[in-house]
Amino acid sequence: MDPTERMLRACRGEPVDRPPVWLMRQAGRYLPEYRRVREGVPFLAMCRDVERAVEVSLQPWRLLGVEAVILFSDIMVPLLGMGVELDFAPGPVLARPLRSAAEVDALRPVDPRDGVPYVFEILRQLRRELVGARIPLLGFAGAPFTLAAYLVEGRGSRHFSALKRLMYREPAVLRALLARLTDLTVAYLNAQIEAGAQVVQLFDTWAGLLSPADYRAWVLPVHREIAAKLDRARAPLILYVNDGAHVLDAMIESGADVLSLDHRLEMAEAARRIGRRASVQGNLDPCALAAPPERIAAWVRELADAARPARGHVLNLGHGCLPDTPVEGVRAFVEAAKALGPAA
């Protein structure tokens, strides 16, 4: 079974010889080879530099043998096409946070293919590089709620209280912003599929900050709309929610093909609850990659076993690799996945 077939079948819940493996944030500062390409280049310039972005996207495959390549970019990139001014320090920082109806209206509705054409050029080049080896290419987008969190708050935050203040005091403004971002996300992901992405992942990093009721009111309808409007016959959809143990049932109702779980959920229990309704991705704690290789291998075997009640499994972490993630730990994770056999 080739890696593209394995990945697509795992996402759709069809039988596979073993789970495929890749890691969120697999291209990043933990790799000395990434730091070399990145040297002296601001992060956003890297995202726009097609040659560098292609090179660092391919590094984890060439150096570590991961079985999927994800576009190197950032969830904030498509907002640049709408006229949003932002920087990274190291997370996103907005020049002017957005808090009013007039500011939401001022976001330019633009076709992402015109707003950020380099993203699609990176995908087209990656697909050409990967087609011979049959390695699947993944596209991604930030989910509207998480993009809104940065736009309203202006930067990362522990509580995102400005965002929640808007939600409770001026719901119509936040609703208008989410509607605008939902249209953007659908257009952006469908254009990525058009440019060669074979699977797409939606990152809702901050949706887990909401209560189950608020998540159902503000986030679930957005996920459902995106799942309904994507060309999923061509590319299955993976939905990631960080710190989302309390909203797993609502994640299942999103209609996504794969639910990407963080490490706070116990895989066995989550897989039982999900059952045949979706595949699962995850969910080793990224910090656990600091353990000795044989412990990492044991966790990989346990995860693959625990995920069996779900209809399919993609081995991954519960969140992205960190700048201090040991390369040896990533290697052990990938090797252990490849050593897994078919279900007993």
Q: Which residues are part of the catalytic machinery? A: 25, 29, 38, 74, 150
Binding residues among 6-25 for ligand CP3 as defined by CB under 6 A? 24-25
Q: Which of residues 33 and 305 has its CB atom nearest to ligand CP3 in the complex? A: 33
> Is residue 120 within the footprint of ligand CP3 (CB under 6 A)?
no
Report phi then psi at 114, rounded to 5.
Answer: -90, -35
**Could you say which of 6, 9, 11, 26 contacts ligand CP3 (CB under 6 A)?**
26
The β-bridge relationship of strands 279-284 and 313-317 is: parallel
Closest CA to 279 of 330, 232, 320: 232
Q: Mask of contacts with ligand CP3, 39-58, x by CB under 6 A?
A: ----x---------------
Count of H helices and E strands in the chain? Answer: 17, 9
**Could you say which of 91, 212, 275, 292 contacts ligand CP3 (CB under 6 A)?**
91
Cβ–Cβ under 8 Å, residues 162 and 97: yes
**Could you say which of 198, 242, 260, 279 contacts ligand CP3 (CB under 6 A)?**
242
Two structure tokens written together for 126:
């990656």
Q: Mask of contacts with ligand CP3, 129-168, x by CB under 6 A?
A: -----------x---------------x------------
Q: Which of residues 13 and 122 has its CB atom nearest to ligand CP3 in the complex? A: 122
> Is residue 226 within the footprint of ligand CP3 (CB under 6 A)?
no
Closest CA to 199 of 269, 270, 135: 135
Bridge partners of residue 203, in order along the sequence:
142, 240
CA 336 and chain centroid, separation = 23
Cβ–Cβ under 8 Å, residues 152 and 162: yes
> Is residue 72 within the footprint of ligand CP3 (CB under 6 A)?
yes
Q: Report the nearest approach of ligand CP3 to the CB of residue 59 (Å).
A: 9
Q: Alpha-carbon distance 200 to 120, whole Å?
A: 13
Cβ–Cβ under 8 Å, residues 218 and 177: no
Residues engaged in binding ligand CP3 (CB under 6 A): 24-29, 38, 43, 70, 72, 74-75, 88, 90-92, 140, 156, 203, 205, 242, 320
